[in-house]
Amino acid sequence: MGGGEVVPVEEVRLWVASVARRLALLHVAYARAIVEELGPERGLRVIARAIREYGRAIGERTREEVVKLGLEPTPENFDRAPTYRVPPYGMYDRVEVVEGERRVRVYGCVLARVWRSILQPLLALLIPGKLEGWRACCPLLQSQSY
């Protein structure tokens, strides 16, 4: 590929989803290694902290880019920041901006589908009876809409 070729959107969607699934598996490998090394309680706290830090870092960088473009840092404008925006094809089924919220809701996330399929059963085995407590601090497990 290259040199000005036109690629069908569905093909792009498949490529992006494939890369997302591969990255999701990499994150699962990190999570397993952390939990194996630190134990479930401490390991899951470290993972939750890393997820929050990732979200904060992306949000800050995206906000800076939006402001540099001369736009208001609102959820509606965050997709205008080219460096950190989520690709429009292959990463999710749909996105919605809810009035009054400072975030965008994403449904059908490819990454989350992989994580849920692997991590939720793993967590249930590692910490029986405590999955609800983990749901409270892990956005991935809070919603069934993924």
Q: What is the pLDDT of residues 11-65, one digit of tens each?
A: 999 999 999 899 888 888 888 899 889 988 898 889 889 888 988 898 899 999 9
Amino acid 66: pLDDT? 94
Judged against a pLDDT cut of 80, whether residue 128 lies above it is answered with no
Element of type H or E holding 95: strand 94-97
Q: What is the pLDDT of residues 52-99, one digit of tens each?
A: 898 889 889 999 999 999 999 887 788 888 888 878 888 888 888 777
Greater confidence (133 vs 113) lies with 113
Greater confidence (37 vs 124) lies with 37
> pTM for the whole thing?
0.67
> Mean pLDDT throughout 119-133?
58
Start-end of H helices in 4-142 = 9-38, 40-68, 110-126, 131-137, 139-142
> Mean pLDDT throughout 111-132?
67
Amino acid 19: pLDDT? 92
Pull the structure tokens for residue 42. Answer: 């401490």
Amino acid 112: pLDDT? 82
The set of residues, in sequence order, having a beta carbon less than 8 Å from that of 48 and lying 6+ positions away, is 137, 138
Judged against a pLDDT cut of 50, whether residue 117 lies above it is answered with yes
Judged against a pLDDT cut of 50, whether residue 146 lies above it is answered with no
